[in-house]
Amino acid sequence: MKRFLTLLLGLVLALGLCAVPACADGPADQAIALYDSGDYAGAFQAASALATGDPVIALILGKGYYLGLGTDENHSKAMTYLEAASQGGCRSAAYLLAEAADLGYGMRMDKDEAARRYIKFVALADETDPAAFDYGAVMCALSECFAAGRGVEKNHELALDAANKAAAAQNLTPFELMSLAQFFDGPAPNHVSNAADATGQYAVETARKVDAAKADELYARALSGLEKMADAGNLAATKLLGDLYLDGKGGVQQDYAKALEYYTLAAEDDYAPAQAQLGYIYQNALGVPADYAAAMEWNNRAAQQGNAQGQAQIGYLYQNGLGVTQNLDEAGRWYTRAKESGSEWAAAMLEQTEATNPHASFEAHA
């Protein structure tokens, strides 16, 4: 029997499945059960006590370090565990490795390497067994790939199919739930570029609303997990709570003051996405008087870290002369940076400034 189980495990790994153990009485199973329940600190602690030959355990540790699930973020350590998990057949780890190359998390930013990894992930993702531990995470990532054109041509219908499969999964992290909710909720406000969200997930920009009711259900599922993580000091979760209060999603009442509180907590700890959201609040007078100097300060702090939203919002300030002398050349330069950082909205605004700039020599690409 022992030989049979060994051969079966070898077959599972050969097929590339991130399999869940059949029984639930060993230390690995306890770590998995804690993860499934949303106790990421307990899962990480239990997984840390185990050898990482098990790809699921490696995935729990890798995602823990990558996203700050139950431990402090450490992208360098995350890479080691994610590589082991990916080699063991956990395809969601393969996606995170592609994303890490794309964003420079824990490794050198390499767009060509990221593209190769995205292509490989997409080629394998749809074959993932629904019984695999990371099936929901794989479908969430596949949806993002089809929606944003990572490793594949954009295809809204295939993105929607994968998103629906992911939404039915039970062990999604709050970050994955938020990503799915944003997909079903439709496009972000005009000023906001959701690309390169430092949660390790991209909030996909879609062309239209898809299912607002499903979006709110997913936001609500994410809420309690985000609150626990924010209380433990996770900056990405703190920022996402601000998002929920800013828009009144997930069963919470819209509350600009509460959003400002969460954004400020994360922004003062130098978290770029929260800094950009503070810029958004101040330049759009959301619950506070318009303060373009404060907007520029926070946008710039985010922009200097490569945040596309902060860069695009500086472009908007220059384009419209908000707190600065109107300068379409300068607007174009900032929109160009944001476009190169992944902002589709900035790309559209760049075209607008190129078309309307009255100057003979437009230097957007300088």
Say if 297 falls within a structural domain.
Answer: yes
pTM (2 decimals)?
A: 0.84
Where does a domain end: 49, 68, 89?
A: 89
Say if 165 falls within a structural domain.
Answer: no
Specify the pLDDT at position 108.
77
Say if 199 falls within a structural domain.
Answer: no
Where does a domain end: 89, 104, 136?
A: 89
Q: What is the CATH number of the domain that holds 314?
A: 1.25.40.10
Say if 265 falls within a structural domain.
Answer: no
Say if 168 falls within a structural domain.
Answer: no
Distance CA 100, CA 93 (A): 10
279 CB neighbour count, 10 Å cutoff? 32
Distance CA 79, CA 359 (A): 48
Angle at 283 between CA 349 and CA 190, to 5 degrees: 35
pLDDT in tens, 56-92: 999 999 999 999 999 999 999 999 999 999 999 999 9
Say if 336 falls within a structural domain.
Answer: yes
Question: Where in the sequence is the domain holding 81, given as residue range(s)?
Answer: 20-89
Contacts of 159 (CB under 8 A, 6+ apart): 143, 144, 145, 146, 147, 183, 204, 206
Can you list the residues of the chain whose pLDDT is less than 50?
1-16, 21-24, 189-208, 360-362, 364-366
Where does a domain end: 43, 63, 89?
A: 89
Say if 66 falls within a structural domain.
Answer: yes
Q: What's the total number of domains in the chain? A: 2
Distance CA 18, CA 92 (A): 9
Report the half-sphere exposure of 347 (CA within 13 A, side-chain side): 7
Specify the pLDDT at position 4.
37
Distance CA 140, CA 204 (A): 11
* Alpha-helix residue ranges (DSSP H) falling in 149-271: 156-167, 174-185, 212-231, 235-247, 256-267
Say if 276 falls within a structural domain.
Answer: yes
Specify the pLDDT at position 20.
54
**Mean pLDDT of the chain, nearest integer:** 86
Distance CA 173, CA 220 (A): 13
